[in-house]
Structures are given as C-alpha cells and as structure tokens.
Structure 1
Amino acid sequence: MTVQKTVENAVQAKKEIEDLVTQGYTHDEIYVFAHDKKRGDHITDALDTEKAGMKEQGFLDSMKNMFSSRGDELRSKMEGAGLSKEEAATAEEELDQGKLVIVAKK
C-alpha cells in the first residue's frame, strides 16, 4: 500500500512521518521529496527517511536520471517509490510550488 502526503515544510513533514510510523511504516519505507536537491537531502537526513535510488528505480532509470531534468528525475524517483505516472506528475507540480511530498510504501 502506498500513501502520499503533501506538506509545506519540514516541521509538518516530521509530524506526518511520526504519524506514518505509528501506523506501522518504518523509516526505510518513507521517502521525502523536495524540488531543491540540497533541501531534499537535508530533510531526508534530518528525519531519517529513505532516499529513492537504484533499488527503487532500477539501474537503467538511475543512469537515465543522471542526464534528465530535475523534474524528470523526481517523477521517476516518485514512481519508483510507488506512485503512478499521474500521481508523480501531480506531486511534481506540488514540488514546483516549494512543497514537500512524502511517500510511504509497504
């Protein structure tokens, strides 16, 4: 089961992650996405969540992302974390507005 949440900032993200953990998700099953790569990395590290990488996307998609735009990379990573193409596209629009997207996948 995949759950998606959109929040405004890291404080709200922390609360949503705590709620997901109480629902039975582990930190390894929770991903936080931000449009700015550094912001996303800082939040992921601070909140001890997983980074979507080769395991979620596969080798070829990971390599392709090295040459893709940030939006394409984010959509691919969100799909790897469990969102459909349509959900990932909608979530990426939220990221464009400076929001954070949280995806939890069992």
Structure 2
Amino acid sequence: MNEKVFVTVVDNGARAMEQVYSLRRQGYLPEDIYILAHDRNRTDDLAEAANVSTVSVEEEGIMQSMANWFRSRGDELRAKLMSMGCTQREADAYEYDMDRGKLIVMAKSRVPATRGL
C-alpha cells in the first residue's frame, strides 16, 4: 500500500487539538494521526492528551530509529518527517518551524497501490 501524508503547521497545543479533532471528523483513525514538537516531552504530552501517535519504530524502521539515538534533535525530526513521506526540502522547512516553537500535525491515509499493466 502507498500512503498519502497530510501535514500542517500550527502555533500551539490548542490549535493542534483542533486540527486533530478536524482530522478525526474527516475519518482519520487516531493511530494514523501524529503530533511532533521540537521538545520530546511536549510531543509525548500532546500526543497523549489528543490520544494520537508519535512517529516511532513502526514508521521509521529499526535502523532509522536506532540511528536517531546518535543524531541531534533537528536531524532526528527531519528523519522522522522523511520516514512519514516528506521530502528533504519539506522536512527542513517543518523542522525550521518546530525550532521556532510551532507544532506539526500529520495524518497518513492508506490508499491502494496502483498496479502496472
């Protein structure tokens, strides 16, 4: 299956919660919605409060997840974003936003892969 990723940048936790509720109303499942913040604790706290996911080994793969132990937080965030389907350029821009205190809300929607003839 291919996955299509929706990404938005919000200013604060209240806006992140609004976005999460909006995505749920659109039919996204809680396990397909993610929150990222520059601070790990803030990411975990917001994800728990919203009952959504954080980007983990399942999305990144074991090798990327292990590599994150040795990366700076910025490099780790960019790797997480790219594992969710963002390009390098998008990941750089989103990480820049998180450096400035903004939050990222993402949702993945599984869509059937197209078959070649």
- Give TM class, smaller chain: over 0.9
Matched, 1:25 2:31: no
Question: What stretches of structure 1 move > 4 A for 4+ residues in a row?
Answer: none
- Match for residue 12 of structure 1 among 12, 15, 19: 15
CA distance in structure 2 between the partners assigned to 1:85 and 1:78 by the alignment: 9
Gaps of 5+ in 2: 110-117
Offset of residue 84 of structure 1: 1.9
RMSD: 0.9
Query: Which residue of the other structure, out of 38, 50, 53, is the alignment partner of 2:53?
Result: 50
Give, in angstroms, the shift of residue 19 of structure 1: 0.7
Q: Is contact 1:9-1:100 (8 Å) kept?
A: yes
* Structure 1 equivalent of residue 63 of structure 2: 60
Number of residue pairs aligned between Structure 1 and Structure 2: 106
Conserved? CA contact 1:34–1:99, under 8 Å: yes
Amino acid at match of 2:96: E
Q: How many percent of aligned residue pairs carry the same amino acid?
A: 37
Cα distance in 2 for partners of 1:82, 1:25 equals 17
Residue of structure 1 equivalent to 2:74: 71
- The offset of 1:8, in angstroms, is 0.8
| TM-score, normalising length: structure 2 | 0.87
Unaligned runs of 5+ in 1: none
Larger radius of gyration: 2
- Normalised TM-score (structure 1): 0.95
